[in-house]
């Protein structure tokens, strides 16, 4: 079964808690984003080394490996978006189709150990950029291709939800896989 493309507009997560993973945007201190990114990235090596990392828990849900590839790429995309927001007045971001990228880059065929290293490196680069944000830069603006407006602070909260949410996705998937092993 093919993955159903995710066409939701996730910007709502900036206004209210995520009912799936429990992310609460109002609790995120944006000055701690670098540390939050590093803490999230530190969880991925174990998930990618898990014996079920290549398995999809259901036919329409990504495997831990596919989520790991996605998170690696998210850190890279948002590093570039943050760079643009810090260096350019009101940049507009190109659309990124995560589902097309997953297929084109064969997320399901990548090496989990390599993805783990790449994810850690991308996270560290992005975390370092967040660490460099000056007090007077948090309200700088940028725009997604659909017109959604972000400040540096709001795009940081938007960003950190994604890898937190996907840790939850993988943990729920691993529970499904463990239950199916008992049958």
125-183 tens-digit pLDDT: 999 999 999 999 999 999 999 899 999 999 999 999 999 999 999 999 999 999 887 65
Mean pLDDT over residues 22-37, rounded?
96
Domain ranges in the chain? 30-178
What tokens appear for 105 in the block? 């880059």
3 has pLDDT over 80 = no
pLDDT at residue 181, as a whole number? 74
Whether the CB-CB separation of 119 and 75 falls below 8 Å is answered with: yes
H-state helical runs in the chain: 33-49, 64-87, 98-104, 112-131, 152-182
What per-residue confidence (pLDDT) applies to 98? 92
Residue 95 DSSP SS3:
coil
Please provide the CATH number assigned to the domain covering 30-178: 1.20.120.450
Token output for 71: 């998170």
29-44 CB burial, b ≥16 within 10 A, e <16? ebeebbebbbebbeeb
Specify the pLDDT at position 51: 93
Question: Given this model, what pLDDT does residue 180 score?
Answer: 85
Mean pLDDT of the chain: 94
The DSSP secondary structure of 11-58, one letter per residue, reads GGGGTS--TTT---GGG--GGGHHHHHHHHHHHHHHHHHSTTTT--SS
Task: List, for residues 73-111, the tens digit of each pLDDT value.
Answer: 999 999 999 999 999 999 999 999 999 999 999 999 999
In this structure, what DSSP letter does residue 92 have?
B
Q: For position 114, what pLDDT does the model report? A: 98
The pLDDT confidence band at residue 21, using thresholds 50, 70 and 90, is very high
In this structure, what is the dihedral angle of CA atoms 163, 17, 11, 73, given to the nearest 10 degrees?
Answer: 0
């Amino acid at each position: 079964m093919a993955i159903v493309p995710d066409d939701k507009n996730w910007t709502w997560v900036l206004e209210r808690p995520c009912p799936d993973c429990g992310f609460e945007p109002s609790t995120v201190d944006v000055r701690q984003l670098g540390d939050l990114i590093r803490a999230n990235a530190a969880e991925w090596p174990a998930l990618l080394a898990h014996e079920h990392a290549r398995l999809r828990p259901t036919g329409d849900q990504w495997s831990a490996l596919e989520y790991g590839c996605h998170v690696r790429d998210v850190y890279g995309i948002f590093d570039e978006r943050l760079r643009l927001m810090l260096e350019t007045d009101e940049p507009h971001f190109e659309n990124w189709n995560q589902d097309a990228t997953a297929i084109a880059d064969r997320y399901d065929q990548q090496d989990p150990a390599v993805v783990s290293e790449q994810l850690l490196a991308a996270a560290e680069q992005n975390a370092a950029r967040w660490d460099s944000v000056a007090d007077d830069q948090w309200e700088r603006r940028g725009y997604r291709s659909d017109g959604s407006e972000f400040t540096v602070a709001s795009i940081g909260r938007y960003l950190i939800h994604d890898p937190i949410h996907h840790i939850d996705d993988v943990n729920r998937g691993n529970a499904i896989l463990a239950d199916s092993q008992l049958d």
